[in-house]
Amino acid sequence: MVLQKRLDYGSSGYQVPAMPHVPRSARGKRSVRKKVEDNRMCAFDLLATVAGRLLSERQNSPTPCNITGTSNPTAGKDIIKQEQFENEKPLKAEAFDQGSCDESALGSEIVFQRQSGYASKEHPQIPFATASSPASAFVKSDNRDSFAGESIISSTRAKRGYSLGTNTITKKCGTQRCIPGSMESYEYEGDGINTPRQAEWRISGKVIERNAPDMNIPEDPMDLDAKPPAVVSSDSSAEVPSCRDRVPHDSSVPKCGDGVEFSVYRDDDENSSGCTYPSPVTTHACRAQRIGDRRIRKLLTSKYWKVDPTMSKDGELANTDVEMKSVFHSRRMPCTRQRTQRSSFKRRKLFERCSISASDGGIFRDGISNPPGKGGIKLEASDSPATLHGANGASSSTTGQKSSYESGDYHVKLSIKSFKVPELFIEIPENATVGSLKRTVLEAVTAILGGGLRVGVLLQGKKVRDDCKTLRQAGIAHAEKLDNLGFTLEPNPRQAPAPLTSSKDPHLLHSGDATEPLARIAPAKPAPYQGAYDANPQPVLTSAANCPESDRDSVQSPADAPSLDKTTANSRALVPVPQMNAEALSVVPLCKSRRSEMVQRRIRRPFSVAEVEALVQAVEKLGTGRWRDVKLRAFDNAKHRTYVDLKDKWKTLVHTARISPQQRRGEPVPQELLDRVLSAHAYWSQQQARLQVKPPPAQTCLLL
DNA sequence: TTTAGGG
DNA sequence: CCCTAAA
């Protein structure tokens, strides 16, 4: 239980990476939305963040090492929410972004492993029920002291009733911004580590054959299971001393790194509590989100999707990184209006064999960060199929920080062997092409990683390179072979995301074209990154947990929506899933799928008689043409009803009232109401006409 | 952001 | 419900 608790990053910190959908009508703050646009995430980010988090967790924990073990794969609670943070200093951000996310530097690999256990037992027909598989992380330290943490990257619902990141909340700590995991504090270490190495991600996936799953899945009971953590193991069980003990509490050091902003996407909508889905990553990833701000949508579509000429025809989309519109449901627009949830992770590259070190400043709790260079976390990936595993040398080290700093050996090394990503459900026609399969998988994966990757398909260990083959032709169509089906995540050299290519960063230029092959940059010292680091000498981040946590709490508000509304919202929360899922996943024609992902149509929510009544009443009072007022007056709590909706409804009501009852469809509206509609409509039309006609007559009179 | 209208 | 031009 302790494990569970400690691993429960839930809504507090890690957030699921940007999703390829942008919610519409989300009424988030502009600032938030803006952030959304810039969000990028890559495995690197996550790795680093997780590492930071783990360390942080460990330090906060009285029993740092008790994380070892295996956790229930379905423990959806252990969710790594993608941390969102953004650098307010453009230049710095740029550098950072470029440095870590450079396309060429990316080399993570995701291996999909067929795992049969998770979903099937409890919900054989509901594969999604197990959507969350563990993403465990191993933290291994050179110093014997180690700890391991496990978390789950999952898009499944958080236990606490959060929908993952439906909304964005920027949390500021005073004037300083916080970065969870203190990405910016990471620095590369020398010897053997300064070369970015592969960070390996393992995705356990199960290929579920045909038949769309029933999306109406109850919360996965398995979430409650307290299975031991699967992968987490540590090299040593030695307990690591809490870093904070060794870290000088310098009051001058801000709790949150300067210039670092930590934003967490979260649902700030009305308290609908449970608009979360147990759906798999894929579902989330592919489900379109809506955003209230159309500009965003436009921006997304045009700026990223449409503009992307580099997109390879086989679908190695670059787009993914772009608009990962989150799939999470917004509370405000209960389950139908989803908000953009882009990772605020700047899109960074995954490095092949990525080794990075992070300054310890980012991981100490209480927001106390150390000056750069004092310590670091080194992330290094290994080939072994473990989970994120790492050791914490620095933390455990009793060496004084000062000496460490000077000697430079005060490092925490995190070795991330693999990440497990929630189970992905993929449904794809037998005659679909391998390329489309790749794209489908990619879309799901991209949702997690933030893009910049392409997916490779392995069949019985061999790469299937021909994207034009059908699955049948490739031999992927048969169940028995599915066991041997694997997917890999590869850097996608073909295209660097627009944001990345724009290089104002000298480092980047120095390194070469961002679109260049990995080899060019990977081996080199991550200059961009370094640059970013340099640019931000101030202590960075820290209380990754604190900020979000508090934020979360503060944001939660009691339900104020009418029960009716809530009920419908909740009950419908799950409705869209199946469609979306199917739609998003059965991507054969790329364009089509993309479109569907992008512009997700809101779920249809017929007006109830009660709503109609309220509408009629309001209109009778306010008249037509004042839809905003009508909205405020009668539907203020119905977040999913926009004034446009009300206007539309009125329009249809008028129409309905004019047609014969036989022609009417849907829930019958009492004739009495319809009569009122007609009379009100007539009245206000007349009023409107009067107002319009009045002036002219007056003028004519004058003229005459 | 709202309104108004066509789709 | 969506999309948009206009205001």
Please name the nucleotide lying closest to A298, CA to C1'.
C3
Q: Is A364 left (phi over 0), alpha (psi -120 to 50) or beta?
A: beta
Q: In this structure, what token pair is assigned to residue A271? A: 């308290």
Give yes or no for residue A604 having a pLDDT over 50: yes
Q: Which residue, counting CA atoms, is nearest to the C1' of nucleotide B4?
A: A625
Nearest-angstrom CA–CA distance, A293 and A271: 21
Closest nucleotide to A29's CA, by C1' atom? B1
- The mean pLDDT value of chain A amounts to 43
Per-residue pLDDT tens over the stretch A365-380 = 222 233 333 332 222 2
How confident is residue A91, by pLDDT bands cut at 50, 70 and 90? very low
- Nearest protein residue to nucleotide C3, judged by CA and C1' positions: A294
Residue A686 CB burial class (10 angstroms; 0-12, 13-18, ≥19)? exposed
pLDDT at residue A389 in the model:
29
Q: Identify the helix (H) or strand (E) that includes residue A530.
A: helix A527-535
| pLDDT of A672 higher than 70 | yes
- SS3 of residue A612 by DSSP: helix
Q: How confident is the model at residue A481 (pLDDT cuts 50, 70, 90)?
A: low
List the A333 CA – B6 C1' distance (angstroms).
25
Cα–Cα dist A542/A257, whole Å:
7
- Tell me how crowded residue A534 is: count the other CB atoms within 10 A of its CB: 14
Beta strands in A67-120 (DSSP E): 84-87, 109-114
Tokens 């022609």 locate to A663
Neighbours of A671 (CB within 10 A): 10
Q: What's phi and psi for A135, nearest 5 deg?
A: -115, 105
Q: Which of A132, A108, A133, A112 is nearest to A47 (CA)?
A: A108
Q: pLDDT class for A442, splitting at 50, 70, 90?
A: confident
Which of A215, A221, A449 minimizes the C-alpha distance to A343?
A449
- pLDDT tens digits, residue range A174-191? 222 323 333 222 222 222
- Say how far A642 CA is from B4 C1', in Å: 15
Q: How many CB atoms lie within 10 A of CB A259?
A: 19
Average pLDDT over residues A429-453: 70
Nucleotide nearest to A626 (CA to C1'): B3
User: CA of A294 and C1' of C3: distance in angstroms?
Assistant: 10
Helices (H), A411-477: 434-449, 471-474
pLDDT of res. A410:
57
When pLDDT is averaged across residues A441-454 and rounded to a whole number, the result is 64
Locus of tokens 């939660």: A556
Which protein residues have any CB–strand C distance under 7 A? A 24-25, 290, 294, 297, 336, 599, 601-605, 640, 644-645, 648, 651-652
Please, what is the Cα angle at A319 between A314 and A320, to 5 degrees?
100
What are the E-state strand segments in A88-146?
A: 109-114, 135-137, 139-140
Give me A422's structure tokens. Answer: 């929630």
Q: Is A205 helix (H, G, I), strand (E, B) or coil?
A: strand
Q: In the block, which residue shows the tokens 């938030």?
A: A32
Extract the tokens encoding A517: 């092959």
How far, in whole angstroms, is CA A13 from its chain's centroid?
Answer: 11
| Closest to A381 in 3D by CA, of A46, A132, A66, A18 | A46
Report the 3 state secondary structure along A265-299. Answer: ECCCCCCCCCCCCCCCHHHHHHCCCEECCHHHHHH
Q: Give residue A418's pLDDT.
A: 58
What's the one-letter identity of residue A287? R
Tell me which residues have their CB below 7 A from strand B. Answer: A 27, 30, 292-293, 295, 624-629, 643-644, 647-648
Task: Determine contact, residues A305/A598, Cβ cutoff 8 Å.
Answer: yes
Q: 3-class secondary structure for A329-391?
A: ECCCCCCCCECCCCCCCCCCCCCECCCEEECHHHCCHHHCCCCCCCCEEEEEECCCCCCEEEE
| Whole-number distance in Å between A486 CA and B2 C1' | 51
Nearest to A19 by CA among A420, A553, A557, A580: A580
**Contact call for residues A135 and A299 (beta carbons, < 8 A):** no
CA distances, A431 to each of A428, A476, A558, A566 (Å) = 8, 10, 50, 42
More confident residue, A474 or A562: A474
pLDDT tens across A285-318, in order? 333 333 333 333 333 333 333 333 333 333 333 3
User: In this model, does residue A684 exceed pLDDT 70?
Assistant: yes
How many Cβ atoms from other residues are within 10 Å of residue A370's Cβ? Answer: 28
Residue A537 has pLDDT above 60, yes or no: no
Q: What secondary structure does DSSP assign to A152-182, as a single string?
A: B---SPPTTSPPTTSSEEEEEETTEE--GGG
> What pLDDT, on a 0 to 100 scale, did the predictor assign at position A411?
64
Across the beta sheet with A200-205, the strand order is A109-114, A200-205, A420-421
Q: What percent of chain A has pLDDT over 90?
A: 6
Cα distance between residue A276 and residue A564, in whole Å? 18
Q: Which two tokens stand for residue A289?
A: 């989100």
CA of A436 to C1' of B6 (A): 36
CA of A284 to C1' of C6 (A): 36
**Tell me, in Å, how far CA of A341 is from C1' of B4?**
31
**Which pLDDT does position A132 carry in this prediction?**
29
Nucleotide nearest to A599 (CA to C1'): C2
Least confident stretch, A175-179, A402-406, A438-442: A175-179
The protein residue nearest nucleotide B2, judged by CA to C1', is A628
Q: Which nucleotide comes closest to A651 if you measure CA to C1'? A: B5
Q: Which of A83-97, A216-230, A497-511, A624-638 has the highest mean pLDDT?
A: A624-638
| Mean pLDDT for the stretch of residues A200-212 | 32
- DSSP code of A18? P
**Residue A394 vs residue A53, higher pLDDT:** A53
DSSP for A32-61, written as a single string: HHHHHHH----HHHHHHHHHHHHHHHHHH-
pLDDT > 60? residue A641: yes
Rounded CA-CA distance A499/A441 in Å is: 24
Residue A652's pLDDT is what?
A: 92
Give the three-state DSSP class for A458.
strand
CA distances from A244 to A13, A183, A250, A361 (A): 20, 19, 11, 10
Nucleotides of B under 7 A from a protein CB: 1-7
CA of A296, C1' of C6: distance in angstroms: 20
Task: Using the C1' atom of nucleotide B3, identify the protein residue whose alpha carbon is closest.
Answer: A625
Using the CA of A602, give the nucleotide whose C1' is nearest.
C1
Euclidean distance between CA atoms A392 and A55, whole angstroms: 8
C5 C1' to A392 CA distance, Å: 60
Does residue A419 have a pLDDT over 50?
yes
Backbone φ/ψ region at A645: left (φ over 0), alpha (ψ -120 to 50), beta? alpha
Q: Give the closest nucleotide to A604 (alpha carbon vs C1').
A: C1
Nucleotide nearest to A294 (CA to C1'): C3
Give distance CA A27 / C1' B6 (Å).
25
CA dist A164 and A16 (Å) reads: 7
For strand C, give the nucleotides within 7 A of a protein CB: 1-4
Rg (CA), chain A: 26
Straight-line distance from CA A197 to C1' B2, in Å? Answer: 53
Q: How deeply is A292 buried, as exposed, middle or buried, from its count of CB atoms within 10 A (0-12, 13-18, 19+)?
A: buried
User: Is the predicted pLDDT of residue A342 greater than 50, yes or no?
Assistant: no
Q: Straight-line distance from CA A401 to C1' C1, in Å?
A: 60
The distance (Å) linking the CA of A20 with the C1' of C1 is 21
**Rounded-to-integer distance, Cα A602 and Cα A606, Å:** 12
Residue A598, CA: closest nucleotide via C1'? C2
| Residue with more model confidence, A644 or A372 | A644
Of all nucleotides, the one whose C1′ comes closest to residue A336's CA is C1
- CA dihedral A22→A26→A31→A35, nearest 10 degrees, is -20
| Closest-approach nucleotide to residue A641, Cα vs C1' | C1
**Protein CA A291 to sugar C1' C2 (Å):** 13
Beta-bridge partner residues of A352: A198
Handedness of CA A501, A504, A505, A509 (dihedral sign): positive
Interatomic separation, CA of residue A304 and C1' of nucleotide C7, rounded (Å):
30
Distance between CA atoms of A670 and A656, rounded to whole angstroms?
11
pLDDT tens-place string over residues A217-233 = 222 323 222 333 333 33
Report the protein residue whose CA lies nearest the C1' of nucleotide B1.
A628
Q: Residue A118 CA to B7 C1' — how many Å?
A: 45
Catalogue all structural domains in chain A, each as residue range(s) with its CATH number: 2-495+534-555 (no CATH), 609-703 (1.10.246.220)
pLDDT in tens, A227-264: 333 333 333 332 333 323 333 333 333 333 332 222 32
